[in-house]
């Protein structure tokens, strides 16, 4: 009696074999947006030198594209008004976001659109300048400045359309908000990072308000840090609303490498200011944060 036939090893491989090179390239092409510069993606180390995506770079590309989906409609709205769209990216780092935005949106525009990358690390500024020159991205500038110093820098125009700040550490997110307010920015896109100033004030003044049961929310040090972070972003949103902005807060899905994935988008709509300004002051008083009033300020004529 003959043995039952079994699929050959070749047949097994055919059923469960890894994707072919052609299939792999097709999958990668599907992940990369049409018109995206392959040379840029290689320079940013999102693609390997032979044009492939690995797991880490695939995640990085997904993150940048995800954020682009939020920013692109804002740029389109500005473009509908004038062609000289301007964007400032604070805490630019290696300028992944700036380069992707320029490649996908800015480089094909008429007029004089421009992206400014603000970064305190001189070596990163120099490398970004070299890369922009190599790619022919003439509408990009990189300035070795702190966020605070950029507000008064003569190297930046008096008005800016869009301001971004991703994971700008400590008080740099607040400095970016102050910059945007001073430049009458139409849109802000912020991913706040660690900011311990509010938590330290809460901790310092804890003893003065022990009679208030709300103090239990931040009595323990861990809760002080977490609550301080939450309150910081609440105060930022109230401040923006007190300046006439419509504010939305969402989660940046896909930022697996960081717990700081809150996304704040502010759109200037000249909204009523009095109520959010009053709420801002009330929160500061209730939590014993009056000394933070200079940082989280409302317009004088609220």
Quick one: pLDDT at residue 12? Answer: 45
Quick one: pLDDT at residue 125? Answer: 98
**Tokens linked to 40:** 């840029």
Closest CA to 17 of 28, 9, 25: 9
The structural domains of the chain, with segments of one domain joined by +, span 34-193, 195-244+272-302
Q: Is the pLDDT of residue 15 over 60?
A: no
- pLDDT tens readout for residues 73-105: 999 999 999 999 999 999 999 999 999 999 999
- pLDDT tens readout for residues 237-291: 999 999 999 999 998 865 454 556 799 999 999 999 999 999 999 999 999 999 9
Quick one: pLDDT at residue 167? Answer: 79
Quick one: pLDDT at residue 206? Answer: 77
Mean pLDDT over each residue of the chain, to the nearest integer: 86
Q: Which residues of 197-206 are buried (b: 16+ CB within 10 A; e: fewer)?
A: ebbebbbeee
pTM of the model: 0.86
- pLDDT tens readout for residues 160-208: 999 999 877 778 899 999 999 999 999 999 998 777 889 999 988 876 6
Quick one: pLDDT at residue 20? Answer: 45
34-193 belongs to which homologous superfamily?
Vaccinia Virus protein VP39 (3.40.50.150)
Quick one: pLDDT at residue 55? Answer: 81
**Percent of residues in the chain assigned helix, strand, coil, to nearest 5:** 50, 15, 40
- pLDDT tens readout for residues 47-76: 888 888 888 888 888 888 889 999 999 999
Quick one: pLDDT at residue 211? Answer: 65
In the 8-state DSSP scheme, what is residue 193?
-
**Tokens linked to 241:** 């609303």
CA angle 71, 72, 73 (to 5 degrees): 95
Quick one: pLDDT at residue 26? Answer: 46
């Amino acid at each position: 009696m003959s043995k039952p036939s079994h699929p050959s090893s070749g047949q097994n491989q055919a059923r469960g074999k890894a994707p072919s090179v052609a299939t792999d390239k097709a999958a990668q092409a599907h992940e990369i947006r049409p018109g995206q510069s392959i040379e840029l993606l290689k320079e940013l180390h999102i693609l390997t030198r032979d044009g492939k995506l690995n797991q880490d770079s695939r995640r990085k590309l997904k993150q940048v594209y995800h954020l682009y989906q939020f920013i692109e409609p804002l740029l389109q709205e500005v473009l509908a008004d004038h062609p000289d769209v301007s964007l400032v990216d604070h805490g630019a780092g290696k300028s992944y976001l700036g380069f992707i935005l320029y490649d996908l949106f800015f480089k094909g525009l008429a007029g004089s659109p421009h992206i400014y990358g603000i970064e305190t690390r001189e070596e990163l500024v120099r490398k970004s300048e070299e890369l922009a020159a190599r790619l022919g991205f003439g509408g990009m500038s990189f300035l070795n400045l702190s966020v605070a110093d950029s507000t008064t820098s003569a190297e930046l125009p008096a008005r800016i359309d869009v301001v971004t700040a991703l994971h700008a550490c400590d008080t740099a997110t607040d400095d970016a908000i102050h910059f945007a307010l001073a430049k009458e920015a139409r849109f802000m896109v912020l991913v706040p990072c660690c900011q311990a100033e509010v938590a330290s004030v809460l901790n310092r003044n804890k003893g003065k308000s022990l009679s208030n049961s709300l103090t239990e929310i931040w009595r323990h040090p861990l809760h002080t840090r977490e609550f301080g972070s939450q309150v910081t972003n609440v105060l930022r949103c109230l401040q923006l609303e007190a300046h006439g902005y419509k504010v939305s807060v969402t989660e940046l899905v896909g930022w697996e490498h960081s717990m700081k994935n809150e996304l704040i988008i502010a759109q200037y709509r000249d909204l009523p200011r009095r109520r959010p300004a009053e709420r801002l002051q009330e929160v500061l008083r209730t939590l014993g944060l009056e000394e933070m009033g200079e940082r989280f300020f409302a317009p004088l004529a609220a």
